[in-house]
Structure 1
Amino acid sequence: MAYKVPSSETPGYSYILRHPDFKDGTCGTKYSEITTLWELFQREVIEFSKKEFLGTRSFDPHTGKFGEYSWITTTDASEIVDNFGSGLDQIYANYAPMVPKATPGQQPLGILSNNRAEWLLAEFAAFRSRRYSVGVGDQLGVDCAEETINHAECAVIVCSMDKIPRMLDRMNTTPGVKVIVSMDKLDCSLPNLFTQAFNSKLTASWRTRAESMGVVLLDMVQVMEMGRAQPTHASPPTPEDVCTITYTSGTTSAQKGVVRTHGSNVAASMSISLPLQAYGATYMSFASLAHCFDRFLIYAMMFEHVRIGMYSGDIANLGDDLKTLRPTVIVNLPWKLNELYGLISSSTIKASGFVGMLSRFAYKQKLKRIAAGNGSKHALWDRLIFNKVAQKFGGRVKMLLTGGGQISSELQTFFSIVLSCESLHGYGQSENFASGTFQLKGNSVKGNAGVPAPGVDLRLRSIPEMEYLVTDAPCPRGEIMLRSKSGLLGYLKEPELTKSVKSGDWVATGDIAQFNADGTISIIDRVKNIIKTGRSFFVAPEFLENCYSKHELVKNIFINGSVKERELVAIVVPNKEKFVPWARGIINDAGNLSYEDMCTNNDVRQALVKELKLHASLNNLMYQEHVCAIYCDPVQFDKNSRGFYTPTFKLRRTAVLNHYKDQFSKLFSEADSNVILTVS
């Protein structure tokens, strides 16, 4: 597995681990001529001329239905980027000449939209003249986009048409914005999902309003026409130039602007491209481009050419997008796979009767093939059982990539079997542009974070106050420290914060890991996400939530504790399909109570606490890790407007704590006597 660098231990620090195929700590010499993302784009254009590159689904505004994918070729993309980049040169010169002090000689281009071809085209057009992209997200709430725009000093914003009204509304609080460029034609002559709610009369009123505020409102076609009329010469970036500023998800604190250079992003992308070897992949892009994970994978696959199909823009339509695009590489997140597992397993390995019996037998046969190193495909059982599942994902998936949280071995293996594909999990952060660790292809051992990516040095640092030590036996434990060319340059305008996480060339991640006996790495905790209870016992809430969420009655769970309180309490969103019949059996209800009434029923809650305690005991949790009081919420965490999830689908713990503040206060007062409080 991972290569252990000889004699690399120092007091308080573990030995250094590296990728087994890149023992010198570099990415080798392949692609050494690529030093910037602009050069990577040019390589795509030249070596894969006229190949399909960026795909968008057609949309009929009259029926509201989506059709097939239409493609922009690499040659088309090059022409668009050149014309739009020339137009941007004139836009900045005429309307936005100011250069932020934090990035001397370079200017930002803010990009605000769902994933679409224009997002990437705008970014490459910015690279053409040494500008850098700033992904602007608005999923976290009203103020999120404003904070990003102001903090990064974005004078020019490229956005989809549906974002323009809100951009104009916030002009008083974003005074630095001088130009708004619509991705969609302002005369609405090319209707799509993002323009269907508007018309040319309305957009004309936007122009008038923008002019009254001293803001220039244009669309991409107009800017490209400016570029064609007065072309400018490209001024390519250097490896040291800023490439993008990505804002962290904000799971435990305010967002931070991570400054990334072209050189560091090329190193990050190359570190996954080399082991992935996804030549000619077709990829579905739906994880927010404003953040790093999706772009990291796109850049990585561009080394070997990639067809990037954008999802339709409606996440509820993702299943149909997959069937239409038929991707060979897909990405998903552990919490979402947990949901899909329930749906898929109920019709296969957990089904009743002959179908269930046959599915379980087929599953065991494929498990044996994987354990023997023969891969996840099986001619007979795929044809009879699992191809039906694979077709829901397009039927051509070769690799399922996951990140953004821990994943169990069972869950990862399940999807490898039902999709007949390679399932690979990795670990990374915005600070290192998602480049940290990745599982080796062909390895049957799952449920870990893999080994360091090529060019990445990884070691652990002891955290004595949490009782994680690099001297722990048999598995060293501690905070992950990373060193690589893809590492953190710094946080925008926050030098002290930068100093707090950097120690020379090493970056402290805040994540706790252990080195496994098989040479892999497992993420086991988070430095900041530790609760000390009134019993002077430390618990890791995310670890416990992962454990409790495996119970079939649980859809979502959030665990809370305090140094002032002896017991743990939780918010539970039940798995409605399993919960309703179970609850009716508890209270002998023949169908009169609604799902919401069942959630507030005291007898049901008491019974659910007993179920969770039993589940905890069966999973070897200590008594101090048992949940002693719960509040049942019938509304799923991701089915509301509460802002519980970041754009990268991580749970924002502060948002959850604030939302349920009153419930937690009441639960703690009852937890010692294990009384479940009914909150009306």
Structure 2
Amino acid sequence: MFRSFIVPSSEVPGFSAIYRHPSYKDGTHNKQYAEVKTLYDLFTFMVSNNPKKEFLGRRIYYPETNIFGKYEWITTTEASEIINDLGAGLDSIFATYAPEPNETTGQQTIGVFSINRPEWLLTELAAFRSRRYTVGISDVAGVESSEFVINVADTQIVACSMDKIPRMLDRIKLTPRLKVIISMDKLDCSKPSIATQAFSAETTEKLKARAESLGIKLMDLDQVIQIGKANPTEPTEPSPNDLCTICFTSGTTGAQKGAMIAHKNLVHSSRAACLTFKVCDTTYLSFMSLMHIFDRIVIYLQMFNMVRIGFYSGDPTRLLDDMQALRPTFLASVPPVLNRIYDKVAFSTIGAKGVKGLLCRMAYKSKEKRIVSGRGFKHPLWDKIVFDKVAKLFGGEVQLMISGAALLAPEVHTFMRACLSCNILQGYGQTETAGNSMAQDIDDFTTGNCGAPAPGIDIRLRSIPDMGYNVTDSPGPRGELLVRGDNVTVGYYQDPEKTAELMEDDWLVTGDIVRINTDGTISVIERIKNAIRSASTIYLEPGPLEIIYEKHELIDQCFVYGSPRIYKLVAVVVPNSEMFIPWARKITGSPKAQLAELCESKEVAEAMTQELLKLGAQAKVPSPAMIGAVHLEPTPLAQVNSQFYTSTLKLRRHLVNQHYMPIFDKLCDSLDFTTDPKFSLAGKK
């Protein structure tokens, strides 16, 4: 089965043919859900088709015991009433404190600064009611990230959780245009949440007094809703070309950029996802950051056919507890999260010793064959004995999961499918494509690819001959991915130079290298900016190499670096302490040495290098991709510097490179710029 449609006679020199979804060969959505033109339309469409159904849920928080209870819900009708009153209240607040539209966009903006919670989505939908757009704010991307976003987007009104208010007041001189802060939590602390733990009615009174002394109007959402009830207004509905959000990119390759996303972009993207995944009447757990586009498109795609959205408690360590309380049927995640789950579950099942390990490996092999052959995800025997126990950790009801934002290793992909007894589909999108460009179809059981172009979205490749990628390559075209469709961003906010670099005619230039597979699916190879060039002049993709080296039982994390000065790679290795410590103690002869001391041992580093050389040879890694020297880092990278990762757990390679550059230079010097005579080719002496 060929999973893409090739547009006839669409090849031009240097570019591949145009590829589309095989069910939508004309490049449109075949007029499905044509009445939905904006995200505000989508919400009213959902309410009219599903009145009084449970819509947004949160867990009841008990501050006395610091525990969370069952989920409580508001219905679609209740949400509609809140959004109408909140929208009218915002009309009054903007008219009083920030009446002028943004000079660049011609619309008004409201910032949203919080973890995922019902008020995040309610605020956004209330903004849409009056042609406003949102800007997601985060303090994860850098020391002054929140101030950067507030200032760049000229945000004068911010809705935030209570825990963000003291920080905003402390740094108010850095955001001179900010005028109003709206607390998502009641300022009298009458409804406790995880964000109000450090507050009381007395401390919030001091906050209000301090805000007033600084010239900031501080109120809560309930107060804005009451203003709206007392001063009702009619909606000023947005048009498809109006902005719905400025979404700041995660900054994996440099400074953050504000992608301007119009209503038509997110509607087209989420409708395409809805037509691909065909979800209906599901229960979804929202925990991926709403500041970024991934979780928002997942929420919106499900609103086409109604969904209960339960928000996580706000504490990542309680995520599995949230799943068991909600029992979601639909999940979205990213490879770093799934990789961590895989490491723990695989170690205690298929990696276990003795009879248990033997039984689990038999179960997994049997189920793997069943899944790959298309005979379904459930097994009458092995699920009861092995896999149901794992599935219950996720609530036991998951029917579908989407993985995005990075590459998912095939072995992790298949293993998680077996454990959850459901399909897990990979997708691909960028902030600039409103989160969607291609995805696996619901009946696709393959791994190592991101499926076919999404409905109504065109893709093509262009050759990069300097890097050895050409659309004439066999067995399938390789090159830089270009995307075209109504999902493509309007451009970067106040950055015409970057906007010009982003587009080539009407095609968005993604910066990602991909391959068209023989079955018409697309595999992402690597980002062009991440490609490593060694003295061999061969370009190497670090992501897939790190996945290979991280398979070693002694390793938790591996970050590779290359330089035109050397013929091999060097690496920062974070050991798996449980396996590493006894192994390293034997090498040093120090039975009581601790992790930090063992990581400083030259003997241990050299032994680890040999382990990686052996693994590389077994995996048939090309000689320039072999590891020539390592630095052992006892601290996980996220603890070395929390800024190494975005809120969607993407690695900011440029920041890691900067931090370890002195070490990389020493490692490169230690290789004396020569090849390793032991491995002229992978595994061959």
Distance 1:672 1:641 in 2: 30
Per-residue deviation, 1:519: 1.1
Match of 2:76 in 1: 74
Tell me if 1:187 matches 2:207.
Answer: no
Q: How does 1:32-431 map to 2 (within 5 A)?
A: 32-104=34-106, 106-431=107-432
What's the CA shift for 1:618? 1.1
1:527-575 superposed Cα distances (whole Å, 9 cap, x missing partner): 1112222343322222322221222222111111222344421111112
- Cα deviation, residue 23, structure 1: 1.1
Does 2:497 align with 1:496?
yes
| Deviation larger for 125-134 or 482-491 | 482-491
Match of 1:602 in 2: 602
**CA separation of 1:673/1:611 partners in 2, compared to 1, >3 Å: closer, same or farther?**
farther
Bigger mean CA offset, 283-292 vs 649-658:
649-658
1:593 aligned residue: 593
Q: TM-score, normalised by structure 2?
A: 0.96
Question: How far apart, in 1, do the equivalents of 2:401 and 2:575 lie?
Answer: 28
**Aligned-pair distance for 1:4?**
1.2
Q: Which runs of 5+ in 2 are unaligned?
A: 676-685
Mapping of residues 659-670 of structure 1, within 5 Å: 659-670=659-670
* Structure 2 residue identity aligned to 1:655: L
Given the alignment of the two structures, is residue 650 of structure 1 paired with residue 682 of structure 2, yes or no? no
Secondary structure of 1:206 counterpart? helix
**What is the one-letter code of the residue matched to 1:637?**
L
Distance in 2, Cα, partners of 1:350 & 1:377: 22
Matching residue of 1:2: 4
Q: Decide whether the 8 Å contact of 2:423 with 2:445 is kept in 1.
A: no
Query: Does structure 2 conserve the Cα–Cα contact (< 8 Å) formed by 1:629 and 1:674?
Result: no
Is contact 2:246-2:259 (8 Å) kept?
Answer: yes
Distance of 1:331 and 1:354 partners within structure 2: 34
Q: After the TM superposition, which segments of 4 or more aligned residues of structure 1 sit over 6 Å from their partners?
A: none
Cα offset, 1:97, TM superposition:
1.3
* Contact kept in structure 2, 1:568 and 1:671, CA below 8 Å: no
Distance 1:611 1:581 in 2: 15
Count residues with an aligned counterpart. 673
**After alignment, is 386-395 or 185-194 more displaced?**
185-194
Amino acid at match of 1:59: Y
1:22 match: secondary structure: coil
Whether the aligned pair in 2 keeps the contact of 1:244 and 1:260 (CA below 8 Å) is yes
What SS does the corresponding residue of 1:278 show, helix, strand or coil? coil
Matched, 1:508 2:509: yes
Aligned to 2:18: 16
Range with greater deviation from structure 2 (634-643 or 21-30): 634-643
Give me the TM-score of the superposition, normalised by structure 1: 0.97
Which residue in 1 is equivalent to 2:534?
533
Alpha-carbon distance in 2 for matches of 1:203, 1:27:
50
Counterpart of 2:82 in structure 1: which amino acid? I
Q: Which runs of 5+ in 1 are unaligned?
A: 676-680
Match of 1:643, SS state, is: helix
Q: Tell me which residue corresponds to 1:482.
A: 483
Q: 551-560 or 252-261: which moved more?
A: 551-560
Would the alpha carbon gap of residues 372 and 566 (structure 1) be closer, same or farther in structure 2, given more than 3 Å must change?
A: closer
Which whole-Å CA distance do the structure 2 matches of 1:304 and 1:642 have between them? 38
Equivalent position amino acid for 1:638 in 2: A
Contact 1:44 1:302 in 2 (8 A): yes
Letter of the 2:90 partner, please give it. L
Alpha-carbon offset, residue 372 of structure 1: 2.6
- Encode CA deviations 1:166-189: one digit per residue, 9 max, x unaligned: 111221111111100000011112
* 2:37–2:264 Cα contact (<8 Å) kept: yes
- 1: distance between equivalents of 2:646 and 2:369? 38
Q: Distance in 1 between matches of 2:298 and 2:415?
A: 23
Deviations 1:418-459 (A, max 9, x none): 110111001110001111110111222212111100011111
1:628 & 1:349 partners in 2: Cα distance? 31
CA distance in 1, matches of 2:367, 2:538: 42
Q: Is 2:271–2:301's contact at 8 Å kept on the other side of the alignment?
A: yes
- d(CA) in 2 for partners of 1:656, 1:372: 41
Q: Match of 2:447? A: 446
Give me the CA root mean square deviation: 1.5
Q: CA deviation at 1:654?
A: 1.8
| Partner Cα distance (2:115, 2:301) in 1 | 21
* Pair 1:673–1:502, CA change in 2 (3 A): closer
Instruction: Quote how far apart the aligned CAs of 1:617 are.
Output: 1.1
Letter in 1 for 2:613: K
Partner of 2:621: 621
Query: Does the residue aligned with 2:489 lie in a helix, a strand or coil?
Result: coil
Contact 1:410 1:447 in 2 (8 A): no
Query: CA–CA distance in 1 between the matches of 2:47 and 2:621?
Result: 55
Instruction: Give me the whole-angstrom Cα distance separating, in 2, the residues matched to 1:593 and 1:419.
Output: 40
Return closer, same or farther for 1:674/1:562 CA change in 2, 3 Å cut-off: closer
CA drift of 1:639 comes to 3.5
Q: Distance in 1 between matches of 2:533 and 2:354?
A: 47
Contact 1:258 1:488 in 2 (8 A): yes
- Is residue 565–residue 673 contact of structure 2 (8 Å, CA) maintained in 1? no
Amino acid across the alignment from 2:450: A
| Paired AA for residue 325 in structure 1 | L
The 2-side partners of 1:487 and 1:361 are apart by 46
Residue 610 (structure 1) shift: 0.3
The answer (yes or no) to whether the contact 2:481–2:510 under 8 Å persists in 1 is yes
Bigger mean CA deviation after superposition, 531-540 or 567-576: 531-540
Partner SS state of residue 530, structure 2: coil
Task: Give 2:22's aligned amino acid.
Answer: P
Alpha-carbon distance between aligned partners in 2 of 1:641 and 1:315, rounded to the nearest angstrom: 18
Q: CA–CA distance in 1 between the matches of 2:487 and 2:285?
A: 25
CA distance in 2, matches of 1:391, 1:526: 36
Counterpart Cα distance in 2 of 1:421 and 1:543 = 25
SS at match of 1:379: coil
Alignment check: 8 A CA contact 1:569 1:671 kept = no
Q: CA deviation at 1:640?
A: 4.9
Q: Distance in 1 between matches of 2:589 and 2:519?
A: 50
Equivalent residue letter for 1:68: K
Contact 2:567 2:674 (C-alpha < 8 Å) held by counterparts:
no
CA-CA distance at 1:363 after TM superposition: 1.4
The farther-off stretch of 551-560 and 49-58 is 551-560
Write the distance in 2 (CA, Å) between the matches of 1:548 and 1:473. 27
Letter in 1 for 2:95: A
8 Å contact kept, 1:532–1:563: yes
- Do the aligned residues in 2 keep the contact of 1:139 with 1:647 (CA within 8 Å)? yes
Distance 2:420 2:674 in 1: 43
Deviation at 1:658, TM superposition (A): 2.2
- 1-side partners of 2:259 and 2:613: how far apart? 42
Whole-angstrom distance in 1 between the partners of 2:658 and 2:44? 48
Stretch deviating more after TM superposition (91-100 or 506-515): 91-100
Shift of 1:408: 2.1
Q: Report the Cα distance in structure 2 between the residues aligned to 1:519 and 1:562, rounded to whole angstroms.
A: 35
The corresponding residue for 1:678 is none
2:12 is matched by which residue type in structure 1? Answer: T
Query: What letter corresponds to residue 498 of structure 2 in structure 1?
Result: L
Distance (Å, rounded) in 2 between the aligned partners of 1:253 and 1:82:
39
Which segment drifts farther, 350-359 or 227-236? Answer: 350-359
SS in 2 for 1:92: helix
What is the CA deviation profile of residues 388-439 of structure 1, one whole-angstrom value per residue up to 9, with x for unaligned ones?
Answer: 0000010001112101111122211111011101110011100011111101
Inter-partner Cα distance in structure 2 for 1:598 and 1:299: 50
CA distance 1:465–1:326, shift in 2 (3 Å): same
CA deviation profile, 1:261-297 (whole Å, cap 9, x unmatched): 1111100000100111110111111110001000010
Give distance in 2, aligned partners of 1:673 and 1:552: 29
| Alpha-carbon shift at residue 510 of structure 1 (Å) | 0.2
Q: Distance in 2 between matches of 1:364 and 1:335?
A: 24
